[in-house]
Amino acid sequence: MIIEHTLVLLKPDTIQRSIIGKIVTKFEDAGLKIVAMKMLWASEDQVERHYPFDELWAKQVYEKTKKVYEESGKKFEYKDHVEHGQTIRKWLMDFLREGPILAIVLEGPHSVEIVRKMVGSTEPRQAAPGTLRGDFAVVESYALADAKKRPLRNLIHASDTVENAKREIAVWFDNKEIQKYTKELDTHF
């Protein structure tokens, strides 16, 4: 099925920066359909379920971070992806509960891939101009986050696969909260 649902979370830093409207407008401008949206203060249980500890994820996060450290000639202190992943996960869970967040479900053909592309690289410093992180959060880096012992303040979470999107949407929304409606653009798909 080409028409997909994807989950976007506007993290507490987006709300603090007063740029909810600018970001939501970008998704609408791109032709994505908003089928659910709510502001909420995440519970402990929701963040636990949203960020399950996953060894593959920990390996990817470790490799991405290590590469950037080594490219800038710095020593990456963590030896082990499990210890590193657990640290990042704890920071992330605390951060997501620092203030209200906006949870959004977007619908559209290939929406998972397209939204990830629009959001840009995990590390805002590397994120290309034109991407949401590159335009709105670029002065943020692994080195800065690490020195401050906090997660990257990169504004947005977006599902990375169709399977994860399904799992993540169920963390934040009941099925009945996902609206079904048609727009003129739908006739093109």
For binding to ligand ADP (CB under 6 A), which residues are involved? 60-61, 64-65, 88, 92, 122, 142, 145-146, 151-152, 154, 157, 160
Q: 3-class DSSP state for residue 6?
A: strand
Closer by beta carbon to ligand ADP, 35 or else 88:
88
Helix and strand element counts for the chain (H, E): 9, 4
Annotated catalytic residue, options 81, 84, 157, 188 = 157
Is the Cβ of residue 80 or residue 186 nearer to ligand ADP in the bound state? 80
CB of 92 to ligand ADP, least distance (A): 5
Nearer to ligand ADP, 91 or 177 (CB): 91
**Strand, helix or coil for residue 129:** strand
Which pairs with CB-CB distance under 8 Å and at least 24 residues apart come from 131-140?
Answer: 132/23, 132/26, 132/156, 136/17, 136/19, 136/22, 136/23, 137/13
- Strand pairing class (3-10; 101-109): antiparallel
Rounded Cα–Cα distance for residues 115 and 134 (Å): 14
What's the closest the beta carbon of residue 139 comes to ligand ADP, in angstroms?
15
Catalytic residue check, 110: no
Min dist. Cβ of residue 146 to ligand ADP (A) = 6
Residue 126: closest CA among 50, 54, 65, 180: 65
**Closer residue to ligand ADP (CB): 24 or 118:** 118
Give the nearest distance from C-beta 29 to ligand ADP in angstroms: 21
Which residues does the annotation mark as catalytic? 157
